[in-house]
Amino acid sequence: MQIQYNGGRITHVQSDIGLDLIARKLAVEVKPAPKPTPNTTWELCLGAQVDQPPYIKAHCSTCAQIAFCGGETAPAMKFLHCRVVETVPPVTAKQYVKMYRDWKNGKEPRPSSVSPEQREIEQKRIETLKARRIIQI
């Protein structure tokens, strides 16, 4: 047990000694700090590039821990933070399995990073280069 003497010193003592000191009003018991309540956010993310698989991201706003996991075993991910171990929520795991399967089969919808205007400019440039016979496609 942990006690604090009236003089302010905090120390660990055997329970029977601590209770005796508390009964004599020479010390008070120091209660352990309560466990923080974890506040975890789970997120499915696309890989940074097309050839990189999607991944699961976990973030705890209580302790600021972040974890990432990708691949076939990602739904079994364990997230250790705030003195607790959390697993991926079933709904998130199910969505990830579908997302990963689609990525593996090449069906992943991925928005183009090029705007339609920029695409048109590039197509005109390629046509000009073809006309000049600088490139051959």
pLDDT of residue 137: 55
Regarding whether 72 and 27 lie in a shared domain, the answer is no
pLDDT of residue 4: 92
- Do 72 and 100 form a contact (C-beta atoms < 8 A)? yes
Regarding whether 53 and 14 lie in a shared domain, the answer is no
Determine the structural domain holding residue 101 and report its residue range.
36-137
Query: Is this model's pTM higher than 0.85 or not?
Result: no
Regarding whether 19 and 81 lie in a shared domain, the answer is no
Burial of 58 (0-12, 13-18, 19+ CB in 10 A): buried
- Do 45 and 57 form a contact (C-beta atoms < 8 A)? yes
Regarding whether 59 and 6 lie in a shared domain, the answer is no
pLDDT digits (tens, 9 = 90+) for 91-108: 999 999 999 998 888 776
Regarding whether 82 and 60 lie in a shared domain, the answer is yes
Regarding whether 59 and 47 lie in a shared domain, the answer is yes
CA distances from 84 to 33, 38, 52 (A): 15, 8, 30
pLDDT along the chain (137 residues), means of 10: 89 91 91 84 87 91 92 91 92 93 77 73 82 66
Domain count, the chain: 2
Regarding whether 99 and 42 lie in a shared domain, the answer is yes
